[in-house]
Structure 1
Amino acid sequence: MRRRLLSAGFLGVTVLAVPHSAQALAPRAAVSHSAQSAPAAFTHPGVLVSKAQLDFVRDNLTAEPWKSAWSALRASPYASLSWKPKPRANVECGPSSNPDNGCSDERKDAMAAYTHALQWYLTKNEAYARKSIEIMDAWSAVITTHTGSNAPLQTGWAGASFSRAAELIKHAYSGWADAGRFSTMLRKIYLPTVIAGRPNSNGNWELIMTDAAIGIAVFLDDRASFDRAVNTWRGRLPAYVYLTSDGPLPKVPARGKYDTEDEIIRYWHGQTTFVNGLSQETCRDFGHTGWGIAAAAHVAETARHQGLDLYAEGKDRLRHAMGFHSGLQLGEPVPSSLCGGKVKLGLGPTFEVGFNALHNRMGVPMSRTQRLVEQGRPAGVSHFLGWETLTHADNPR
């Protein structure tokens, strides 16, 4: 059966309608062999945030939007010097973290370590550096494994925040005696899981894991793992965000099991009409979708600090994804052709990094995304997302 290309007034984009009965082979997301490579030496600190970015923030803490974002961080429990880490040897996480045997504790401790690392950099009060180190040392002395069905995602969530905290402390503070033990923890307990990817899971998993993997790789000065994380991103983003230039069907993940049209439609949660910016998880819910898009931007941001411009490669997918979902989150009507006419909203503080990169640095018009981002300020904390209005809002560095 022949597919039909439709011109429709669907949020101002072109729509591809796909008949459900066809069984065509799908295009697999490929990595270009001519793609840009990063310079040989790593730049530190350079996991999600750079020295130049944080210097800019420190110079503007009395101006908005950084003033309110800084106040929100300082008022948070994560910022308290009385924070007590709760490490354990086996972090066991089932579906939706049930059972939750150390899952929430690990995520929160990792975020607290990052929060204190930011406070150290922005205030130069050594008490915050020591608290960040206390948290990281507690975990590196105890943890041996992650188990349960949610273990790969849990490792990504915690690994992303831990690598950001460790990068700032290692390269902006001179008193971390057990940094080597923490490096060993990341290399042996976190990196093998997150670098392996997860091609057959919902895409937010692999993107969050890749966010952690590239951060750990930079912290460890591990070029091979950095390159592998970049290759995973280059294969996963085109399989997570659809563009009409992809053809009648979305691309499928590299190394994934999805080959036929029916399999792809099931993987895309029953969606049969594909438009610019649609995500593999749009018809699941916007919460997980926002995580996936945010993680994709995080990888590009870390790569940018290392001299590799992934934003140039992913610009169209990221801008369409952010704009498409922002419009719906802001109240634009849901067409009957999208997710049966009903979507589950709930974008969190997800687009600050990507919006700053594309709109403020690259000059891409993004009016709907701008409205949503500005309405949500100051962005707080969600699993692996932390204080991104403070670190990235209107940041030209």
Structure 2
Amino acid sequence: MLVSRAQLDFVRTQVNANAQPWRNAYTQMMASKYASLSRTPKPRAIVECGPTSNPNLGCTDEREDAIAAYTLSLAWYITRNSQYATKAIQIMDAWSATVQDHTNSNAPLQTGWAGASWTRAAEIIRYTYTSWPNAGRFGTMLRNAYLPKIINGHATNNGNWELVMMEATLGIAVYLEDRTVYDRAVAKYRTRVPAYVYLPSDGALPKTPPGSGIDTRTEIVNYWQGQSTFMEGLTQETCRDFTHVGYGIASIADFAETTRIQGQDLYPEIADRLRTALGFQAKYELGTAPPSNLCGGTIHRGLGPVTEVGYNHLHTRLGLTMPNTQTLTESRRPQGTNNLFVAWQTLTHANNPH
């Protein structure tokens, strides 16, 4: 998921050749706390995450251990130093032996964030390292302690929730080789992306998430953070803040990237929405002042390190011209991690044709 063997081989070749931007991205990753071989995992039986992570009982520890496992898996593949694989396995084994459930209001979001990183790490280790005796137990953990919290989605919350929940659900389905779960994630994604990014072809009002009960103009405007003028590429959270938009854009791209690797390319279905969402947000992230009919003339920037996957597919593979997204993406390389579920996209996806 997210990165295929061919993509990883491309990255490894570029890093070993000291080519840019991959070498700088690799150096950034290896200098991070997530690549440390002395990391001690901090598993908990019950991870409790309230609103804005209050209480935070294992929430940060879980997310960061999951990112560390993914980071160490990438480090293993690029360096072929088995110490990195062993450390990734140690972290994953510690959690699969311990965690039982996620509770409190942010449990679905937390489970999505951590689940997205866990599954990336697990796939790399499972198929490229010599031995992982507890790989089956890790799958049991994903099915029992993660999947129930995310598989049904969360239609009424802000869209970044359901998008990352489906991203993690898809990753779990791939790891478990569970076609039923995979198909459920795809079905939900196909309705959620159109309800997150507006296109003029949608009509006067944006599409709404099925099952949300949001169906009047007043309810839709309220759901779109009070925004009543709908523009191409606007997202449901643009007038909330760009950071949360970044979460949504990352999951939209990550999901499509995984389906493409799995042989069911969903990019054609969501390409216009992803392209315009990236371009719209990039324009204002780069400093353009918003007009008065966009968020009342006030926006909150901070898109995050989230543009590489979508930009790589649309520009590198398809050849689409995306000037604002290109300027933003290239100016912020190497894109690192948001410490939640996005990590090292410049390393894995910058100019990656595979």
TM-score between both structures, scaled by the size of structure 2: 0.98
Aligned equivalent of 1:340, options 296, 307, 315: 296
Aligned to 1:164: 120
- Say what the alpha-carbon RMSD is for the aligned residues: 0.6
Q: Quote the Cα distance in structure 2 between the aligned partners of 1:182 and 1:147.
A: 20
Q: Does 1:387 align with 2:344?
A: yes
Kindly report which structure 2 residues correspond to 1:301-340, keeping only aligned pairs within 5 A, or say none.
301-340=257-296
Higher alpha-carbon deviation: 179-188 or 190-199 = 190-199
Q: Quote the Cα distance in structure 2 between the aligned partners of 1:212 and 1:183.
A: 13
Q: Does 1:53 align with 2:7?
A: yes
Deviations 1:166-214 (A, max 9, x none): 0001111121111111010001111121211111100000001111111
- What secondary structure is seen at the aligned counterpart in 2 of 1:138? helix
Q: Quote the Cα distance in structure 1 between the aligned partners of 2:170 and 2:334.
A: 26
Q: Does 1:121 align with 2:77?
A: yes
Aligned to 2:210: 254
Q: Does 1:297 align with 2:260?
A: no
Aligned to 1:33: none
Aligned equivalent of 2:328, options 372, 384, 387: 372
Aligned to 1:143: 99
- What secondary structure is seen at the aligned counterpart in 2 of 1:146? strand
Supply the AA of the counterpart residue of 1:259.
D
Q: Quote the Cα distance in structure 2 between the aligned partners of 1:359 and 1:387.
A: 19
The structure with the largest helix share of the pair is: 2
Q: Does 1:267 align with 2:227?
A: no
Kindly report which structure 2 residues correspond to 1:1-397, keeping only aligned pairs within 5 A, or say none.
47-61=1-15, 62-382=18-338, 383-397=340-354
Aligned to 1:19: none
TM superposition shift of 1:376: 1.1
- What secondary structure is seen at the aligned counterpart in 2 of 1:91? strand
Supply the AA of the counterpart residue of 1:60.
Q
- Gap regions ≥5 residues in structure 1: 1-46
Q: Quote the Cα distance in structure 1 between the aligned partners of 2:181 and 2:315.
A: 30
Give the length in aligned residue pairs.
351
Q: Quote the Cα distance in structure 2 between the aligned partners of 1:327 and 1:152.
A: 31
Supply the AA of the counterpart residue of 1:57.
V
Supply the AA of the counterpart residue of 1:283.
C
TM superposition shift of 1:330: 0.3
Q: Quote the Cα distance in structure 2 between the aligned partners of 1:391 and 1:67.
A: 11
Supply the AA of the counterpart residue of 1:116.
L
Supply the AA of the counterpart residue of 1:150.
N
Q: Quote the Cα distance in structure 1 between the aligned partners of 2:23 and 2:85.
A: 21
Q: Quote the Cα distance in structure 1 between the aligned partners of 2:90 and 2:58.
A: 18
Supply the AA of the counterpart residue of 1:394.
N
Supply the AA of the counterpart residue of 2:23.
K
Supply the AA of the counterpart residue of 1:347.
L
Aligned to 1:21: none
- What secondary structure is seen at the aligned counterpart in 1 of 2:293? coil
TM superposition shift of 1:296: 0.5
TM superposition shift of 1:254: 1.5
Supply the AA of the counterpart residue of 2:8.
L
Supply the AA of the counterpart residue of 2:210.
A
Q: Quote the Cα distance in structure 2 between the aligned partners of 1:297 and 1:53.
A: 16
- Gap regions ≥5 residues in structure 2: none
Deviations 1:128-187 (A, max 9, x none): 111000000000111011011110000000000000000001111121111111010001
Q: Quote the Cα distance in structure 1 between the aligned partners of 2:112 and 2:332.
A: 25
Q: Quote the Cα distance in structure 2 between the aligned partners of 1:136 and 1:257.
A: 39
Deviations 1:245-282 (A, max 9, x none): 10000000022110111000100010000000000000
Supply the AA of the counterpart residue of 1:246.
D
TM superposition shift of 1:323: 0.1
TM superposition shift of 1:228: 0.8
Deviations 1:303-325 (A, max 9, x none): 00011111111010000000000
TM superposition shift of 1:339: 0.6
- What secondary structure is seen at the aligned counterpart in 1 of 2:208? coil
Runs of 4+ in structure 1 over 4 Å off: none
- What secondary structure is seen at the aligned counterpart in 1 of 2:195? helix
Q: Quote the Cα distance in structure 2 between the aligned partners of 1:226 and 1:149.
A: 25
TM-score between both structures, scaled by the size of structure 1: 0.88
Q: Quote the Cα distance in structure 1 between the aligned partners of 2:210 and 2:254.
A: 20
Supply the AA of the counterpart residue of 1:53.
Q
Whose Rg is larger? 1
Supply the AA of the counterpart residue of 2:279.
G
- What secondary structure is seen at the aligned counterpart in 2 of 1:229? helix
